[in-house]
Chain A
Amino acid sequence: MNKFSWYEAKSVEDALQQVNSTVSEQLYKHTDKASIFKSGGVDVFDWVKEGLLKPQKIINIRNIPGLDKIDYDRKKGMSIGSNVTLAEIASNPEIKTNYLALHQAVNHAATPQLRNMSTLGGNIAQRNRCWYFRSGDHDCFRKEGDRCFARHSETGENENHAIIDNGSCVSVHASSISTALMAFNASVVILNSEGEKKKVAMDDFFVTAAKDIAMENILQAKEIITEIILPAPSKNTKSAYIKQVARESYDWSLGDVAVVLEVSGNATCRSASIVLGAAAPVPYRSMEAQQALENKTINSENALAAAEAAMTIARPLAKNGYKVPLFVATIKQAILEIS
């Protein structure tokens, strides 16, 4: 690790005065004198240990008062402060009752130890886990290099990579929690150093590789996430989340699915929100599956049709063809868990 100084921020305003760059900017092109945010620090320290991130100053935003609240209002919905830990989300009864898929997603993310350390803001802003991106020996597209090592048809180790929107960088977003957040139509509240606060829908928070190779989200240097908000569910809202992994101990997602449905009395789906994780470079809303399911009865046949519709646009790489049947089975199962 390089030497860096430590700034213990007292308020969001204080932190925004100090910060001058983001982890993403630094990974793409290193500059001297970078001051960056750190919350739980789990992703930041990973990059610093690897020598790919060399900040001059780390601004600790973890202890800023007021960013660690969970508030629920039956009309307004849920507000989760950016410094709330994953463990605090997992043990919150109102989240379990009203946003079951989010509860399930958090419980299946990382390890008990990491859930005690990781914050929600840091989780949605973490960078992807592609082993080439994380390796100091591989100058890939996302580090100003000239290729994507993973997509190579013979030498690319791409079993964990994208099957949708994989035209440039083929990494998948690391936040499996965002799969559920997006399905609930969550928004990210961002404050900048001019004092402007804006609310950005999750669907617009993530940035595709094709749009900007340096970024995975819209965050700019002088911006801080203050909270993540979820609209109030109606009494007909039901949700489910399933994550597929390769082993029984904790693991990164091979494919995860969050389904949030408005269901009318006779098991008819009135509206569907279906999001896939580890399918594309950003959490992927499947318009195809949503359209296929809307106004249909929730049964095995229609669930399968929606799942297959989601995969019509899939273009697997050499080693991740298994993800297509995996998603078909998982989307179907998640829909049927709701019926």
Chain B
Amino acid sequence: MEDKNQGSESKPTKAITRRSFIRGAGLSTAGSVLLTTNALAFAHKEQLVTGEEYGPEAMTIKMKVNGMMKSLSVEPRTTLASALRDHLELTGTKVVCDRGSCSACTVYLDGKPVNACMMSAFDVGDKEITTIEGIAQNGELHPVQQAFIEHDASQCGYCTPGMIMSCVHLVENNTDPNLEDVKNATRGNLCRCGTYPNVFKATLAAAKKTI
């Protein structure tokens, strides 16, 4: 632990040599240890299996969304949220913060909730996307969607698709959720209208529980 408080402001400098690997920090485990050198793969560079480069211009990719295979023309910088909304016209997925901070853009990637605003359309590969449009089945609302209506769990509605995605994922994966489970599932979903109490009630009701 060098540099204890210096008190007054000092302009930092960019060190010329950035590393000193072997330096004690007063701990038995500190320091760095060389494990191997010249691993075999590096000795035969010509045999290296190389990956592929795409873009930067738009190109056509395929993506499975709500059970259907779609083709769309996107750039590597196209977010999944933009791919869904602007290219596939699935505008149920909302973009609010565009920084991973509100979860309005929640979709499932192979069944797991993720923020569509913080990943590239190129991240999807052969994984499956489910959006809010894919939650109702055969024209029937999911019990969580129905409960949101019955419990008045939506105000302006901007957070609602993301909120429902989180709550549906919970009740589909936990047959007996309690209030704390619902809170944990929606920890990332910010609602500026403050619908939380009714969201919790609706989700527990959908899971056939009351509070």
Interface stretch of the complex, out of A92-100, A199-207, A233-241, A331-339: A199-207
Number of interface residues of B (CB under 8 A): 76
Find out whether the CB atom of B54 lies under 8 angstroms from the CB atom of A5. yes
When A41-B120, A111-B187, A185-B27 are in contact, do A169 and B12 touch as well, CB less than 8 Å? Answer: yes
In Å, the complex CA distance between A67 and B202 comes to 40
Check B34 for interface membership: any CB of A closer than 8 A.
yes
Q: Contact mask B66-109 → A, CB, 8 Å, 1/0?
A: 00000000011101000000000000000000111001001001
Chosen A-B contacts, 6 in total, with CB atoms closer than 8 Å, are A45-B118, A111-B187, A112-B166, A195-B37, A210-B6, A211-B2
A231: B residues at CB distance < 8 A: 29
- What 8 pairs across the A-B complex have the smallest Cβ distances? A111-B188, A167-B6, A195-B42, A6-B76, A210-B3, A213-B12, A168-B12, A3-B56
Q: A203 and B27: CB pair below 8 A?
A: yes
Is B9 located at the chain interface by the 8 A CB criterion? yes
Interface membership of A33, Cβ < 8 A: no
Contact flags (1/0) for B12-27 with A, using CB distance below 8 Å? 1111001101010111
Are the C-beta atoms of B9 and A113 separated by less than 8 Å?
no
B139 within 8 A of A: no
Task: Check: A318 CB closer than 8 A to any chain B CB.
Answer: no
Tell whether A31 is near chain B: CB-to-CB under 8 Å. no
**Which residue in A15, A42, A165, A215 is a CB contact (below 8 Å) of B5?**
A165
* Chain B residues within CB distance 8 Å of chain A: 1-15, 18-19, 21, 23, 25-27, 29-39, 41-43, 45, 48-57, 75-77, 79, 98-100, 103, 106, 109, 112-115, 118-120, 122-123, 125, 166, 183-190
Taking CB atoms, residues of chain A closer than 8 Å to B190 are 249
A220–B18 contact, CB under 8 A?
yes
Q: Which residues in window 61-100 of A have CB below 8 A to B?
A: 62-63, 87
Complex interface: chain A residues within 8 A of B11 (CB) = 141, 146, 168
A48 touches B (CB below 8 Å): yes
Query: In the bound complex, do residue B23 and residue A204 qualify as a contact, i.e. CB atoms below 8 Å apart?
Result: yes
Q: In this complex, what residue of A is CB-closest to B165?
A: A113
Cα–Cα, bound, A187→B82 (Å): 38
Question: Is the pair B10, A113 in contact by a Cβ cutoff of 8 Å?
Answer: no
Contact B55 A6 (CB under 8 A): yes
- CB-CB under 8 A from A211, the residues of chain B are 2-3, 15
